[in-house]
Chain A
Amino acid sequence: MAVLLQISEPGQSPEPHQRKRAVGIDLGTTNSLVATVRSGSAAILNDEQGRALLPSALHYDRHGLSCVGYEALGHDLSDPLNTLTSVKRFMGRGLADVALFGEQLPYEFVEQPAGGMPKFATAAGAISPVQASAELLASLERRAELALGGDLDGAVITVPAYFDDAQRQATKDAAMLAGLKVLRLLNEPTAAAIAYGLDAGGEGTIAVYDLGGGTFDISILRLTRGVFEVLASGGDSALGGDDFDRAIADWLRAELAIDADMAPAQQRQLLAAAKRAKQQLSEVEQTELVVGEQSLTLDRGQLAELLDPLIAKTLRACRRSLADAGVKLDEVDNVVLVGGSTRALRVREKVADYFGREPLCHLDPDQVVALGAAIQAEVLIGNKSGDDLLLLDVIPLSLGIETMGGLVEKIIHRNTTIPVAKAQEFTTFKDGQTALAVHVVQGERELVSDCRSLARFELRGIPPMTAGSAKIRVTYQVDADGLLSVAAREMTSGVEARIEVKPSYGLEESEVTRMLQESFSHARDDMAARALAEQQVEADRIIEDIRAAIAADGEQLLDRVELDCLNKSLDELQALRDSSQEHRALARKIESVAKGSEAFAARRMDAAVKKALAGQSLDQLEGEL
């Protein structure tokens, strides 16, 4: 039907929809976003109300997930225990780590056996951080599919550069659960650097200062002829704008003499007041905080006093990363600010002070990461020739194994460019020994107990030999996403030792399977939404095609009545496309418009043929006949 109207010139592609659908997703602690590249430039995909951000919040009731995003935030005060926010801080973490956050957590947890990830106790049952993150991803995926009119072919998901293996793995598990093909886990600062003008083909050293809600990252990058090399990255995976809010809230609580052992709802109220004050003080000199009946004034000087110790912590991390990168302060050509918390005026002042130059911040700090991820997704999916952009990332934390006495032997040092593979040889210390236990940890400290436990492996099936004669080669490989895999082989016999991986905070395979099954219950809604999206894209296409045809030769080929009739049916289709939630109704209307335009299409075809013939001489025609 519509195809009749597409009279294309030879050699031109009649099908503009060959492009693959790829998106960049910023799965943030406080807010999440999805972006894609459209007509050559990256753009955020808004929700139906035109909002760019999806607050990383979920609300559960006894039927399950009730809502996400802004709607879920609406339950924050009334139903705090069932409203999950800042879920990202729990990804790949054990309950012991969570306790180290040093704060009263407004959630209740379900203790997991064998040190697994803690689950939130909600009205819908125990919900893991991975499940909750998967729901956020699924929501963004639906948004993107509606906007792009079909299934996604792949996504780049961003993570803090400082995320360790368990946190990255948890993020990837969440994407798998949401049914997304992950093209790459991309470090947030790297994404931001990409978003900031690679177009100029510029060269130089860039420091990316990324202060989000729950994490701080500093990355030092060098750009040389289209290759983006991360020289060093560091930071703090448990420091962010939320801590600013908490510092203010603590001050507020002390000033107002509120009992430290308060109800979760009141705690939220304090935090909300603190956050508002923080935001306002970037605009005005002083502000009023109101909590219940009481109120208090906070000015910029006092705010600086509360925030400076936290900001100083970030600047110490900057100094370390510069040293790791072998870059001096005055060799930094540009400083890029990322993350909503860099909106705080005090942060900008201190960063400008430290680096001795005004930081770049003309892109929305909330959006810049998603935009960069979208650009990288476009390259990775193959829509764009990737010859001009390559990212070389580093591993943020050293990988090591436990040795005698609870000490760590480092196998791969932090800031080593990935992918990387390192092999290590072990031997047996008892006659006839057939198994060997390996404990892999991540971190910079010398004691195992100060590092993060990643996994325990047991190498089994070693052929019995005298002590010290077996040679077991263990290879640790970290891929471009920063994820670890391990292989082992006994060298003298060639036996591949069997490895049992017990992820310390990961998900068991059975758990993933169960969660996948649960996600199918949402599948029906998804299918209807997808069908509607497809019809909407079809409607857009036919409207655009016919309008273009009318503009080209509507005057010559149609009389007044025909033209009015066609325009009217197009207006009706447009109205239905914008309002209808019913994909079948929309499909029917599309078909009737297509039918109504057939006569016009036929006349255009005739005219086109005539025109083509008119240009040729009679001789040529006779020769061809």
Chain B
Amino acid sequence: MPLSQDYFALFGLPVDFSVPRQALDASYRELQQRHHPDRAAAGSDSEVRLAVQQAAAINQAYATLKSPLLRAHYLLELAGVDANQESHITRDGMFLMEQIELRERMEEIADHPQPFDELEALRSAAEVKFVECEERFVVDYANGDHQRAVDAVAKLQFFSKLLDQLDELEQDLEEL
């Protein structure tokens, strides 16, 4: 398996932010059918080891292309841009204010009379913002404006984290 190729090529897809999910899934299943260590279970230890590495690489590639955030990161990486570099959002007062408000709203959910409805409302709001950032990224990336694309990824990261925390909060609320 040519692991040196990029993740998009591995799944036979064009390098693009928009990924057809069905084609990705089908290609993933086909690759694992061929390379999964279970295919080498009766083989030698070294065959199994090699298969574990290949299957792990395929899983890594699949997980990257499945997630919009990781995919955006990866596209920048392919373009030779360090997505972890400092972005400009720390100077984006509007954005920071918005984040603080969202977070405050999240912290107050537990005391809300209808906590699950409030949580759902906040989640929808965060999801809308997330999609907006995705769209921003697509435009900036297509225009080759890498600095702004990096900013968009940083914002995606914020909203992604918020959504994860909302999931955790939901679990905690259910435990009560």
Contact = CB atoms under 8 A, between A and B. Distances in A.
Interface string B162-176: 000001001100110
B60 A420 contact: yes
B59 interface: yes
A500 B154 CA distance: 38
A194 B56 CA distance: 23
Contact of B56 (A153, A381, A477): A477
A480 B39 CA distance: 11
Contact of A224 (B29, B36, B57): B29
B23 interface: no
Given A380-B42, A381-B41, A390 B33 contact: yes
A420 B170 CA distance: 28
A390 B40 CA distance: 12
Contacts of A153: 42
A477 B57 CA distance: 11
Given A417-B63, A419-B55, A477-B56, A225 B38 contact: no
15 contacts: A183-B42, A316-B175, A380-B42, A390-B32, A391-B38, A392-B36, A416-B59, A417-B59, A417-B63, A418-B56, A418-B59, A419-B37, A420-B59, A477-B52, A480-B55
Given A184-B38, A386-B39, A390-B38, A227 B33 contact: yes
A320 interface: yes
A167 to B, nearest CB: 20
Interface in A303-350: 316, 319-320, 323
B53 interface: yes
Contacts of B53: 419, 421, 477
A227 B29 contact: yes
Contact of B42 (A154, A224, A225, A480): A154
A419 B38 CA distance: 11
A390 B36 contact: yes
B25 interface: yes
Nearest to A379: B38
The secondary structure that dominates the A interface is: mixed
Most buried by B among A319, A380, A419, A477: A419
Contacts of B36: 390, 392, 480
A227 B41 CA distance: 17
Interface in B39-63: 39, 41-42, 52-53, 55-57, 59-60, 62-63
A387 interface: yes
Interface string B53-91: 101110110110000000000000000000000000000
A420 B39 CA distance: 16
A480 B56 CA distance: 9
Interface of A: 20, 153-154, 183-184, 224-227, 316, 319-320, 323, 379-382, 386-387, 390-392, 416-421, 477, 479-480
The secondary structure that dominates the B interface is: helix
A227 B39 CA distance: 13
Given A224-B25, A227-B33, A316-B174, A420 B38 contact: no
Contacts of A381: 41-42
Interface of B: 25, 29, 32-33, 36-39, 41-42, 52-53, 55-57, 59-60, 62-63, 167, 170-171, 174-175
A392 B52 contact: no
Contacts of A379: 38
A382 B42 contact: yes
Contacts of A419: 37, 52-53, 55-56, 59
Nearest to A20: B42
A227 B32 contact: yes
Contacts of A479: 37, 52
A184 B41 contact: yes
A20 B174 CA distance: 50
B174 to A, nearest CB: 6
Contacts of A183: 41-42
A420 B171 contact: no
Contacts of A418: 56, 59
A194 to B, nearest CB: 12
A279 to B, nearest CB: 31
Given A380-B38, A390-B36, A480-B38, A421 B167 contact: no
Contacts of A227: 29, 32-33
A386 B38 contact: yes
Contacts of B59: 416-420
Given A380-B38, A387-B33, A421-B60, 14 more contacts: A153-B42, A183-B41, A227-B29, A380-B42, A382-B42, A390-B29, A390-B32, A390-B33, A390-B38, A417-B63, A420-B56, A421-B56, A421-B57, A480-B36
B12 to A, nearest CB: 17
B52 A480 contact: yes
A390 B170 CA distance: 33
Contacts of A319: 174
Most buried by B among A386, A391, A480: A480
A590 to B, nearest CB: 32
B38 A323 contact: no
Nearest to B53: A421
Given A316-B174, A316-B175, A418-B59, A392 B42 contact: no
Contacts of A387: 33
Contacts of A20: 42
A416 B170 CA distance: 21
B41 A392 contact: no
B92 to A, nearest CB: 28
Contacts of A390: 29, 32-33, 36, 38
Contacts of B29: 224-225, 227, 390
B56 A416 contact: no
Contacts of A316: 174-175
A582 B128 CA distance: 77
Contacts of B171: 320, 323
A183 B37 CA distance: 10
B167 A323 contact: yes
A488 B53 CA distance: 16
Most buried by A among B39, B42, B53, B171: B42
A392 B33 CA distance: 10
B60 to A, nearest CB: 7
A380 B59 CA distance: 21
A391 B42 CA distance: 16
Contacts of B63: 416-417
The 5 A-B residue pairs with the shortest CB-CB distance in the complex, in nearest-first order: A380-B41, A421-B56, A419-B56, A227-B29, A419-B52
Contacts of B39: 386
Contacts of B25: 224
A226 B30 CA distance: 10
